[in-house]
Amino acid sequence: MAWIRASRTAPGRDRGSTAIEYLGFLPVLIIIGLAGIQLGLIAYTAQQAGTGARAAARTASQAGTYGSYERVGKESMTGWVADRAVVSSPTGGDTVTVKVTVGIPDVLLGLLGDRTVEKSATMPRD
């Protein structure tokens, strides 16, 4: 029994080791958090590109609105996504197809490189 008391009263050489272990694990948690944010940005950018493509194709398919499809497509997207968007000119005969390409913002400090999302939409001509 004496040795149990002695170990309890021994100098705390291990004091603070848990804090050091948490500090070592903190960068891993930060990278996991940033990766989650990056995946959310990719999904949101893709959704916004699809919305812009549909709005631009719908506008381009209507008679007499040929020049305003790009403006309508960009207005249907969130401002920071629209700033990164390129709306292609409509193609097709009986239908109109518009492509929207958007650059994905990078929160992982360049690990993904320059990535883009491209969405297209096709609407029948009026």
Between the two ends of the chain, the Cα-to-Cα distance in Å is 93
Q: Tell me: the pLDDT tens digits for 91-108?
A: 878 999 999 999 998 888
pLDDT score for 77: 96
pLDDT score for 96: 92
pLDDT score for 10: 52
- Give the dihedral of Cα atoms 34, 39, 41, 46; nearest 10 deg: 170
Residues lower than pLDDT 50 in the chain: none
pLDDT score for 97: 94
